[in-house]
Every structure is written in structure tokens, then in C-alpha cells.
Amino acid sequence: MAWLYLALAGIEEVISVIAMKYIDGFKRKWPLIVMTIGFGFSFYFLSHAMRILPSGVAYAFWMAVGSIGISLVGVFWFKEKLSVWQWIFLSFILIGAIGLRITS
């Protein structure tokens, strides 16, 4: 169940960061609301996962899901470009997250 909580926390983090991109200097109300609620849920699920998993493992996996998730959203939704080196280092993050899951 802890890994499900971590997955939900990571998804909420990605949603919150997408909303953050649309805030426009705190001028737009709805993205700010979505971001605030999303981060609240993200921290809620992360804290539940930390009841079971070691905090370092939980936090590292949560960070990996968020980092990789928002990077992919940036590429496919916002049409951002990543260099070959950025893809390589994101793959290292992915390998680390998979390793944490396998060994926990």
C-alpha cells in the first residue's frame, strides 16, 4: 500500500507543477487553487507512505516520480526540448527509482 501512496503522491506532484506553470505570477486563481490542493494531497500521500517505508527511500522515490513525470509532461505537452545528456541523467533517476522499489 505504501508504494501506491507514493505513486499517488508523485502524480499529485506532477499535477501541481503543471498548475504552477499556469499561475502567471499569482494572477490566475484556478491554477493556484489546483496547485495548492495538489501539493496538499501529495504531501498527505507521501506522509502515509513514510509510515511504512524509510523516509529516505520514500522521499527519493517521490522525487523521482515527480522529476521524471514533469519532464515528460514538459516534452510532450509543453513542447520543451531535452538534450541527450538530460535524457541520460533522467534515465539514471529512473534506474535509481526502480532499484529502490526492487530492494525495498
**Which band of pLDDT confidence, cut at 50, 70 and 90, is reported for residue 27?**
confident
Assess contact for 29 and 80: CB atoms under 8 A: no
What span, in angstroms and rounded, lies between the C-alpha atoms of 72 and 84?
A: 14
pLDDT at 84: 98
pLDDT at 31: 95
Model confidence pLDDT, tens digit, residues 37-67:
999 999 999 999 999 999 999 999 999 999 9
**Structural domain spans, the chain:** 2-103
Q: Which residues contact 27 (CB under 8 A, 6 or more apart)?
A: none
Q: Which residues contact 16 (CB under 8 A, 6 or more apart)?
A: 34, 35, 38, 39, 42
